Structure 1
Amino acid sequence: MGQRRPHRTTTRGLALLATGAMLLTGAACTSQKAASSGGDSGGKIKIGLVTKTDSNPYFVELRESAKAEADKSGAELIALAGKFDGDNDGQVAALENLVQQGVKAILVTPSNSTGILGAIKQARDKGILVIALDTRTDPESAVDATLATDNTEAGRLEGQYVKAALGDRPPAVIMLDGTPGGTVDQQRHDGFLQGIGLAEGAPQILGAEPTNGDQNKAQQAMENLLQRNSSVNAVYNINEPAARGGQAALQARGLTDGVVVGAIDGGCQGVRDVQAGKYAVTVMQFPKKMAEQGVQAGVEFARTGKKLSGFVNTGAVVITDKPVPGVDSKDTAWGLQNCWG
């Protein structure tokens, strides 16, 4: 968060990422190692993956996609994760672990875009290719390449949709944010405000609270915010788990009618939520594309020394069954065919 974070109303891209099996030891992180025939790596190219958590469905999908691509390429994926979104220490320990295991490339979704820079530098100094997935580092040049959604654009698309869906009604917005200090979280937040046409701190924003992208925390945050002001008609969500939590709190208070709820992710469950009317829109990302291209780049580097470089935008698509003027979108039937594909 997965960040892993846009601006025009165009549709684009497809993406996803990856897996591992077999628990490894690691003090501050969860780890999994891909099993290989004969019980060892058999001389396979080792590719490391470090995600923000191993429980968020987005990062589970990313991991499984990376594992599938590694198997297809004859490589071994070693997948590690922080214990929670924001666990920078866990991710640093995971990178150090992967370096010790002799990986040729590391794919990482940074929880803290600056806190992990030292561990990334140590890996690159040892000749390891490091690619950021989903979330940019700060500076972006700290890694060899980045494969990610343009998260400012994703937020802007969510905001543009919500604004158009409100019609003539002035916005009264609650914002269920992600993790304080997270690059993706800030980019999506800022993009949403740009899309809906509000400045930070505008009186139309009834309140904002961090949720770490967690459904239970989002539900509690929404409950807290509604106690202060229940005249909400629009909700920004950092991701789909937050949207589900916020929607549960709205429903418990009988406040769902007339409230336009947006989300970002585009997981299959999220698309089904939109189809069921739990929230109006989700902005689809493509983690499979991130994962596959990341593994492919790692394997090519190990075999030829060629490095992927720069930022690669893997796309964002608005998914809704209630299209609005001025915002390009696909319906949930298309979304279910392409969710995290």
Structure 2
Amino acid sequence: MSHLRSSARASVRVPVVAAAGVALLVAGCTSTKSGGSDDGSDSGGKVAIGLVTKTNSNPYFVKLRESAQDEASKKGAKLIALAGKFDGDNQGQVDAINNLVAQNVKGILITPSNSTGVLGAIKAARDKGIVVIALDTATDPASAVDATFATDNEAAGVKQGQYVKGALKGKKPAIAVLDGTPGSTVDDLRHKGFLKGFGLTNGSPEIKGTAVTNGDQTKAQTAMENLYQRDHGINAVYTINEPAAAGAAQALSGKSGVVIGSIDGSCTGVRNVQSGKFAATVMQFPKKMAQQGVDAVVDYAKDKKKPSGFTDTGSQLITDKPLSGLESKDTAWGLKNCWG
């Protein structure tokens, strides 16, 4: 982020973990048993599909995993779900990919914590004939995987930026930026989109401070408290996701006139918009990502046709205070279409 965002471009260094079993958390409803056949099916003839998420605790990835499990069951496939210990656990994800390769899965769906850190493991999997699909978070370069099913995160960021700017109603902006995880394309694209939507650059004086939160509510609350302590004039907050927005809202509790925007579209997030904690959020559709990813692997197992390119699974601005010129839906609609 120029002088404010240089840390977001740095590689995330994570100590090498001795064994995959230590590095990974495994969803209780999924299988980790090895011994799949060479054709990517288990001993019962089901297509084996691996899923590697950033964590098992973030509600967004919980929903993505549940949706993938449901779709796999409908398609008669077997899902093996693994995850890093925390957002940014690159080595945990590398170990997960290697684990799935050893289990002879037909395809791997992954939400990379670091968009470049897993490239070697992905290449090794693809070299063995395994189709690899990025969900939610693109790799860098995007061609490192066969296909990507995700939100257009820059476009989602633009929607957040446009709304926050409009909601200030002509007031001079004083913005706090709560970023996610350094090295993630989601972080980079949402940040870039927000600035584009607001009409700013990384060096704009309207930006009063930035902080890396890893999308964590507690870290975001501490960061927001520190930023506000340095500048009581802050009146707008960009957040990488709704947990970060919730942390910002808690830090700013009792302080009026601060516009908080976010991206995610969880049911909790929509309720926070409804209650006025956030001004708006931009909804994503993780269920679509998971369903389309599973379907693509099952189709590949049947006809050997690999998916390719980027598929935008959509985003929607949610607010109860609509602005002229910006298409949005209210929280009643949001609660009918939210996830989590």
Same fold (TM > 0.5): yes
Displacement of 1:123 in angstroms is 0.3
**With structure 1 as the length reference, what TM-score do the two structures score?**
0.89
**1:30 maps to 2:32:** no
Displacement of 1:25 in angstroms is 6.5
Q: 1:77 to 1:41 in 2, by over 3 A?
A: farther
Offset from partner CA, 1:254-281 (integer Å, 9 cap, x none): 32x1111100000111111111111110
Displacement of 1:100 in angstroms is 0.5
Partner of 1:281: 280
Partner of 1:292: 291
1:1-341 superposed matches below 5 A = 26-32=21-27, 34=30, 42-251=44-253, 254-255=254-255, 257-340=256-339
Question: Structure 2: how far apart are the matches of 1:199 and 1:213?
Answer: 22
Offset from partner CA, 1:134-155 (integer Å, 9 cap, x none): 0111111110000000111111
Question: Structure 1: how far apart are the matches of 2:327 and 2:272?
Answer: 20
Partner of 1:20: none
Amino acid at match of 1:68: D
Amino acid at match of 1:312: T
SS at 2:252 equivalent: helix
SS at 1:137 equivalent: coil
Question: Structure 2: how far apart are the matches of 1:35 and 1:155?
Answer: 36
Contact 2:156–2:193 under 8 Å retained in 1? yes
Q: Which has the higher contact order (CA 8 A, sep 6+)?
A: 1
Offset from partner CA, 1:200-224 (integer Å, 9 cap, x none): 1211111110000000000011111
Displacement of 1:30 in angstroms is 1.2
SS at 2:22 equivalent: coil
The unaligned stretches of length 5 or more in structure 1 are 1-23
Identity level (%)? 67
Question: Structure 1: how far apart are the matches of 2:26 and 2:63?
Answer: 16
Displacement of 1:340 in angstroms is 3.1
Displacement of 1:27 in angstroms is 2.7
Aligned residues: 312
Partner of 1:14: none
Amino acid at match of 2:107: A
Offset from partner CA, 1:73-116 (integer Å, 9 cap, x none): 11110000011111110000000000011110000001111110
Stretches of 4+ aligned residues off by more than 6 angstroms: none
SS at 1:42 equivalent: coil
Displacement of 1:35 in angstroms is 5.4
Displacement of 1:46 in angstroms is 0.5
Amino acid at match of 2:25: T
Amino acid at match of 2:192: D
Contact 1:27–1:93 under 8 Å retained in 2? no
Amino acid at match of 1:336: L
Question: Structure 1: how far apart are the matches of 2:267 and 2:121?
Answer: 34
**With structure 2 as the length reference, what TM-score do the two structures score?**
0.89
SS at 2:121 equivalent: helix
Contact 2:318–2:328 under 8 Å retained in 1? yes
Contact 1:41–1:76 under 8 Å retained in 2? no
